[in-house]
Amino acid sequence: MRNKVANEAAAHASFRCGHVAIVGRPSVGKSTLLNALVGQKISITSKKPQTTRYRITGIATDAHAQFVFVDTPGFQTKHRSRLNDRLNRAVQESLADVDVVVLVLDAARVTEADLAVIALLPPGVPVVAAANKVDALADKAAFMARLAEIAQLYPFAAIVPVSAEKGTQLPALKDEIAKALPQSAPLYPEDDLTDRDERFLAAEFIREKIFRLLGDEVPYATTVAVDTFEMDGALRRIHATVYVDKPGQRAILLGEGGLQMKAIATHARSDMEKLFGGPVFLEVFVRVKRGWADTDASLARFGY
C-alpha cells in the first residue's frame, strides 16, 4: 500500500499540466490545430477570418501531461467594431494567465498582423511557434529562410513546422509544449475534452455551417442562441435561433423554400451526433434583431 502511494506521488511529481493559449492572426489555423491536438472537433473552423468568437478550451491528456489548450479569436487589426474590440480583448485576457503560448503562423508568410500579435506576447511566458500549413508550401527552399526569419522575431522556446490539417509533426509540437509546462497534477479528469457544455457546442456547430455555406457578408451579421436543449431518452431535442441584423439577411439565410437553412441544420446536426454520440433532433429559427452586435447589453446576452 505504501508503495502504491509512493508511486502515485512519484508519478505526479513528474506529471505536467497547464493552460496553453493558442493565438495568432485570423485564419492561420488555430482552431484546426486545437482540434487536431485534442483529436476531436471541439472548435469551429472555416475559410473565413474571425470564425472563432468565443474562448474555448480543448483538453488532451497523455501518460505524462495534460494540456488545457485555449483557443482564441484571431487578433483583428483591420476592422474596428464593438464585437471586434471584444474579441481582441478576449485574446489579451487569455494571454494574461497561461503557462505556455502557442503562436500559430502561416508557414508561407509572416505579415504585419503576425507582428501585432507578437507585440501582445506576455514577457516571461514560454512561447512555442507553430509554422502551420506546411502541406501547402510550394517553395520548400524559401521555407528554410522563413524559419530563420521567424527565429529573429521573438525568443521562442521552439519553432515547429506543422500541418494541423494533415496532422504532421503534432507529437513534436506537443513535446515542445510539455517541456514548458509546470509540474502539476491534472486539472481535469482524463477523458474530459472541453470546458464547454453541449448547449454551447450545438450553437457553435450551427454557426460553423453558416460560415461555411454562406457568402462573405451574412455570417458576420449572425449569431446563434440555443433556446431549449432537452434529453428525451437518448435523443437530444434542440431548438435554436439564428439572429441576423436585417430582413434581407434572413431571406439569404433561409434560401429558396428554406433550403439553405435546411442544409445548415442538417450539417450541424451531423456534427452534433458525432460529438455527442447519440441522435439529435434540431429545429432552427431565423429572427431579425437589429443592431445585436452594436450594444454591450445585447453582446453580453449572446455570451460575448
Ligand X SMILES: Nc1nc2c(ncn2[C@@H]2O[C@H](COP(=O)(O)OP(=O)(O)OP(=O)(O)O)[C@@H](O)[C@H]2O)c(=O)[nH]1
Q: How many residues bind Mg ion (CB under 5 A)?
A: 4
Backbone torsion region of residue 49, taken as left when φ is above 0, otherwise alpha when ψ lies between -120 and 50, otherwise beta: beta
Taking CB under 5 A as the binding criterion, the range among 46-54, 203-211, 250-258, 289-297 that sits at the site for Mg ion is 46-54
Rounded to the nearest whole angstrom, what is the least distance from the CB of residue 131 to ligand X in the complex?
10
Q: Is 89 in the site for ligand X (CB under 6 A)?
A: no
From the list 92, 154, 104, 113, the residue with the least C-alpha distance to 134 is 104
- The CB density around residue 274, as the number of other CB atoms within 10 Å, is 12
| Cα(129)–Cα(160) distance, integer angstroms | 6
| Cα(34)–Cα(171) distance, integer angstroms | 13
- Among 35, 46, 52, 76, which residue interacts with Mg ion (rule: CB under 5 A)? 52
Q: Is 57 in the site for ligand X (CB under 6 A)?
A: no
Q: Is 84 in the site for ligand X (CB under 6 A)?
A: no
Please identify which residue in the block is written with the cell numbers 431518452: 233
Taking CB under 5 A as the binding criterion, the range among 10-18, 23-31, 85-93, 176-184 that sits at the site for Mg ion is 23-31
Q: Is 57 in the site for Mg ion (CB under 5 A)?
A: no
Please identify which residue in the block is written with the cell numbers 513534436: 172
Cell numbers placing 86: 471584444
What dihedral angle (degrees, nearest 10) is formed by the CA atoms of 67, 201, 164, 147?
-70
DSSP state of 73: P
Q: How many residues bind ligand X (CB under 6 A)?
A: 24
Rounded to the nearest whole angstrom, what is the least distance from the CB of residue 40 to Mg ion in the complex?
15
Per the DSSP assignment, residues forming a β-bridge with 160 are: 130
Mask: binding to ligand X, 10-49, rule CB under 6 A, as x and -?
--------------x-xxxxxxx------------xxx-x
Rounded to the nearest whole angstrom, what is the least distance from the CB of residue 80 to Mg ion in the complex?
20
Give residues in contact with ligand X (CB under 6 A): 24, 26-32, 45-47, 49-52, 73-74, 132-133, 135-136, 163-165
* Site residues for Mg ion per CB under 5 A: 30-31, 51-52
